[in-house]
Amino acid sequence: MSLLEIKDLHAGIDGNEILKGINLKIGPGEIHAIMGRNGSGKTTTANIIMGHPDFEVEKGDVLLEGESLLELEAWERARKGVFLSFQYPQAVPGLQVGNFLRKSVASIRGEGEAKGSGFREGLTAAMEALDIPRSFMSRYVNDGFSGGEKKRFEILQLMLLRPRLAVLDETDSGLDIDGIRTVSEGVNAAIRGTESGALIITHYSRILEHVQPDVVHVLLDGKIVSSGGPELATKLEEKGYEWLKQ
């Protein structure tokens, strides 16, 4: 059974159809990438999978391990194992990073996982892997974070929440080369060698050099127009998107 299956998905916002019939299957342990230009429907795809209330699904289905997600609220999807690394993570002044992580782990993985030395050790290891200093814990969630800090924090959450399916929306944007490498290592650690899967949404092939995708899809005007191996990303980098239009 597929980990994630998207079937003939038509969806949009405020009555505008953005996705015009998407089909996609991700198996356990696989990493897929969706590439496309601005406005092609990449972020809409991410929002639909996570359950953003502003987006409407007109037709089709999104299934996690055979079960439709569409009737579930975002928090219910999160508890079933869906994770979204946001393009623009939101600041919550006054909410401490440490408390927030503990509460999120408790909600998604269970109270027992958010307590004791197991939690602390996992947290310390993930922070070291991502080059996040200890002082980060007492800051407020995304409040005053630099672009790079926000992205690292998203991946820290990915590593701690251990989702079945991770969707990464433009995680590489706003990161320098070192940042991309660090974040990519985090993604690899969270997904590779597990039964989980990931969908990486990106403009550029840079992150895909560090997180080798099994399949690359090209999204153009709300449809997947081409799918292939990692070489497709390289080709897009060289030739752009125009050639796919024919």
Partner 1 sequence: MEENSDARVAVGEYKAGWHDPEESTIRFDFGLSEEVVREISSLKNEPQWMTEVRVKAFKHFSERKMPTWGNMSMLEEIDFDKICYYLRSSESTEKDWEDVPEDIRNTFERLGIPEAEQKWLSGVTAQYESEAVYHSIREDLESQGVIFLDMDSGLREYPDLVKKWFCSVVPYSDNKFSALNTAVWSGGSFIYVPEGVHVEMPVQAYFRINAKNMGQFERTLIIADKGSSIHYVEGCTAPTYSTDSLHSAVVELIALPGSHIRYSTIQNWSANVYNLVTKRGIAHENAKIEWVDGNIGSKLTMKYPAVILKGEGSHAEVISVAYSGAGQHQDAGAKIHHLASNTTSKILSKSISKNGGRGSYRGMVTVSPKADNCKLNVVCDALILDEGSRSDTYPTMEVANPTARCEHEASVSKVSDEQLFYLMSRGHSEEESLAMIVNGFFEPFTRELPMEYAVELNQLMALEMEGSIG
227 sits near partner 1 (criterion: CB under 8 A) = no
What burial letters (b/e) apply to 132-142, b meaning 16+ CB within 10 Å?
beeebbebbbb
Smallest gap from residue 231 Cβ to partner 1 (A): 33
Does position 52 bind partner 1 by CB under 8 A?
yes
Q: At what angle do helices 177-191 and 147-161 cross, to 10 degrees?
A: 10
- Is 31 a binding residue for partner 1 by CB under 8 A? The answer is no
The alpha carbon of 74 is separated from its chain's Cα centroid by a whole number of angstroms, namely 14
CB of 80 to partner 1, least distance (A): 10
Cβ 48 to partner 1 shortest distance, Å: 12
Does 75 contact partner 1 by CB under 8 A? Answer: yes
Characterize the bridge pairing of strands 165-169 and 55-64: unpaired
Nearer to partner 1, 52 or 181 (CB): 52
Using the rule CB under 8 A, give the single segment among 19-27, 47-55, 59-67, 198-206 that binds partner 1.
Answer: 47-55
- Rule CB under 8 A: say whether 45 interacts with partner 1: no
CA distance 183 to 209: 12
> Could you tell me the two tokens for 27?
């198996």
Residues 6+ apart with CB under 8 A from 201: 33, 34, 42, 43, 45, 46, 167, 168, 169, 170
Candidates 23, 104, 212, 234; binder of partner 1 (CB under 8 A) is 104
Q: Does 168 bind partner 1 (CB under 8 A)?
A: no
Nearest distance, CB of residue 57 and partner 1, angstroms = 16
| Phi and psi, residue 72, nearest 5° | -95, 145
Residue numbers 175-214 binding partner 1 by CB under 8 A: none
Residue corresponding to tokens 């497709």: 232
> Considering beta carbons, is residue 22 or 97 the nearer one to partner 1?
97
Nearer to partner 1, 89 or 236 (CB): 89
Q: Which amino acid is at 13?
A: I
129 binds partner 1, rule: CB under 8 A: no
- Residue from 13, 57, 74, 225 binding partner 1 (CB under 8 A): 74
Return all residues near 28 (Cβ < 8 A) that are at least 6 apart.
Answer: 3, 195, 196, 197
Applying CB under 8 A, the residues found at the interface with partner 1 are 50-54, 73-75, 77-79, 83-84, 86, 88-96, 100, 103-104, 107-108, 140-141, 157, 161
